[in-house]
């Protein structure tokens, strides 16, 4: 046992010494056996865990299974490694023994045409425990020498190179004399083992990414542009309008483009509706379209505004619209949905009576959904009560559109006046309670019930 420990310590010291010496020495390149590549797989430390199968020619032992863990360093065409060995050995006639030990091995890669084929030689020491014998289980310590060959099957994972390692070795061992000769008379004097090792070889570093070569700088002589006296980007030879003002946008012939149509926007109070530039997705809030309080009956002012809307729709028969109605949060959800739907339908019916085809229109009540302001304040509720005209098909006549306003942009941009729900107010300390729907016998002709905060 002492001899085995001494041998292992000597081998580890020799491995460390040779590694330090090799790192400090200049490398000698052999042109007849170049090792293909550089990088951590071919230059640097590595770890090699392997499984091991043992078979011996002696009559006493059948086979053994175990493992090897090797730590090594490679310098191109050769490598040096230290390994730890553990094997369970089956003995004929029943019983088993355990081998533990280590060794120091050298690997040589001699062929440039097969850079991953190598030969391996080494020496080591083993400790055999509990070897069954007639005189009792025996422990003994053989020293070993090994030789063989192997091959590394290369793989890559991004910038990491590793290998499947396979090798076959012959190992010869000679047993030391035991301290108790009578107990080891049945133990083998020599070892004659065949070993097959299969595992991985894992470099302790990654391959640096390949650097792209710097592009060559090629001088390029820019061609001289053709004459363009007015600077509009159209050569004089094809410019149909050679006197275009500087900075003006021109067509392919060099002539100035017509002015764009105005953007599609909600008109301010008192302004007439103009659908020029409007198209699918645009939303116009109909300010001033009011109703009798808690009803779907249009006011006279609302009808005047809708007359201008109908005129614009008749001018643009290709447009298709949706009339949407919104309320504030006062009143129940079902009441608000019903009232907003009735008022949107009332607007659509009036437009149909004004000559707009029903097939071009639809109506929808959104109730208190999609508020644009805070329903806790009167000013916010005024903004949330509104009627909207949404373009769902076609583009208004005129030049190409300049801007497109979505519903959210239109809602945020204009203080929309909207539908009123019953005037149920509350103190600032508590939210306004939901109001019940109007009774069926309420007077629909009471013009004094007009709510001018309503749309």
Query: Is 28 a residue whose pLDDT tops 70?
Result: no
Query: Using one digit for the tens of pLDDT, what is the confidence trace for 420-454?
Result: 444 333 333 333 333 333 433 333 443 333 333 34
Is residue 193 scored above 60 in pLDDT?
yes
Which CATH code for domain 283-449?
A: 3.30.1330.60
What single-letter DSSP state applies at residue 93?
T
Residue 138: what pLDDT? 75
Is 27 or 383 the better-scoring residue by pLDDT?
A: 383
Confidence band (pLDDT; 50, 70, 90) for 403? Answer: very low
pLDDT in tens, 233-251: 788 778 778 778 777 777 8
Q: What is the pLDDT of residues 329-375, one digit of tens each?
A: 888 889 989 989 998 999 999 999 999 999 999 999 998 888 888 88
Which of 3-17, 189-203, 213-227 shows the lowest per-residue confidence on average (mean pLDDT)?
A: 3-17
> Is 398 a residue whose pLDDT tops 70?
no
The predicted pLDDT at position 399 comes to 38
Encode pLDDT of 110-142 as tens digits. Answer: 998 888 999 999 999 988 888 776 666 778 888
Tell me the pLDDT of the chain averaged across its residues: 75
More confident position, 271 or 73: 73
| Predicted pLDDT of residue 234 | 80
pLDDT for 455 beyond 70: no
Residue by residue, what is the 3-state secondary structure of 177-235?
CCCCHHHCCCCCCEEEEEEEEEEEEEECCCCCCCCCCCCCCCCCCCCCCCCCCCCCCCC
- Alpha carbon distances (Å) from 134 to 150, 186, 187, 189: 39, 7, 10, 16
pLDDT at res. 91: 77
pLDDT at 336: 87
Mean pLDDT value across residues 213-227:
80
The mean pLDDT of 50-72, rounded to a whole number, is 84
Confidence of residue 181 (pLDDT cuts 50, 70, 90): low
Report helix, strand or coil for 368.
coil
Beta bridge partners of 105: 81, 122
Q: Is residue 185 scored above 70 in pLDDT? A: no
State how far the Cα of 54 lies from the Cα of 61, in Å rounded to an integer. Answer: 10
Domain ranges of the chain: 2-18+34-203, 283-449
Residue 392 has what pLDDT? Answer: 92
| pLDDT over 50 at 68, yes or no | yes
DSSP 3-state of 381: helix
* Closest CA relative to residue 392, chosen from 348, 338, 343: 348
**What proportion of the chain, given as a percentage, has pLDDT over 90?**
28
The lowest-confidence range among 79-93, 260-274, 378-392 is 260-274
Question: What H or E segment, with its residue span, contains residue 8?
Answer: helix 2-24
Q: Given 3.40.50.300, 2.40.160.20, 3.30.565.10, 3.40.50.10190, which CATH number is that of 2-18+34-203?
A: 2.40.160.20
Query: What's the confidence (pLDDT) of residue 30?
Result: 39
What is the C-alpha separation between 291 and 451, in angstroms, rounded? Answer: 7
Work out the number of other CB atoms within 10 angstroms of the CB of residue 235: 13
């Amino acid at each position: 046992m002492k001899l085995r420990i001494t041998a292992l310590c000597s081998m580890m010291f020799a491995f460390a010494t040779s590694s330090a010496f090799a790192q400090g020495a200049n490398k000698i390149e052999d042109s007849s056996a170049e090792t293909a590549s550089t990088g951590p797989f071919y230059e640097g430390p590595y770890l090699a865990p392997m499984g091991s199968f043992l078979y011996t020619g002696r009559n006493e032992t059948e086979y053994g299974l175990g493992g090897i863990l090797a730590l090594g360093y490679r310098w191109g065409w050769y490598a040096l490694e230290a390994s730890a060995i553990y094997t369970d050995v089956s003995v004929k006639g029943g019983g088993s023994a355990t081998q533990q030990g280590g060794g120091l091995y050298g690997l040589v890669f001699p062929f440039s045409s097969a850079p991953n084929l190598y030969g391996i030689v080494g020496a080591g020491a083993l400790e055999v425990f509990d070897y069954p014998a007639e005189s009792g289980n025996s422990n003994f310590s053989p020293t070993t020498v090994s030789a063989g060959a192997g091959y590394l099957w290369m793989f890559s994972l991004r910038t990491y190179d590793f290998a499947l390692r396979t090798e076959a070795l012959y190992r010869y061992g000679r047993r030391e004399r035991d301290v108790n000769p009578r107990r080891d008379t049945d133990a083998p004097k020599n070892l004659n083992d065949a070993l097959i090792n299969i595992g991985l070889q894992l470099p302790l570093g990654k391959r640096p990414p390949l650097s792209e070569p710097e592009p060559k700088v090629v001088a390029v002589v820019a061609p001289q542009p053709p004459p363009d006296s007015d600077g509009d980007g159209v050569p004089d030879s094809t410019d149909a309008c050679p006197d275009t003002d500087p900075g003006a946008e021109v067509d392919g012939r060099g002539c100035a483009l017509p002015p764009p149509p105005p953007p599609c926007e909600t008109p301010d109070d008192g302004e007439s509706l103009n659908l020029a530039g409007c198209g699918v997705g645009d939303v116009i809030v109909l300010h001033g379209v009011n109703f009798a309080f808690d009803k779907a009956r249009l006011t006279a002012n609302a009808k005047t505004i809708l007359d201008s809307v109908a005129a614009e729709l008749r001018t643009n028969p290709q447009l298709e619209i949706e009339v949407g109605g919104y309320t504030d949060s006062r009143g129940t959800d079902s009441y608000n949905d019903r009232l907003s739907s009735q008022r949107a339908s009332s607007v659509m019916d009036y437009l149909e009576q004004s000559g707009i085809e029903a097939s071009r229109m639809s109506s929808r009540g959104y109730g208190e959904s999609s508020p644009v302001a805070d329903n806790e304040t009167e000013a916010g509720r005024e903004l949330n009560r509104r009627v909207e005209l949404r373009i769902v098909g076609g583009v208004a006549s005129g030049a190409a559109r300049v801007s497109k306003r979505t519903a959210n942009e239109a809602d945020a941009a204009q203080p929309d006046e909207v539908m009123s729900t019953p005037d149920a107010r509350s103190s600032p300390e508590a939210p306004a309670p939901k109001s019940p729907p109007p009774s069926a016998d309420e007077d629909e002709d009471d013009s004094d019930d007009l709510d001018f905060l309503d749309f």
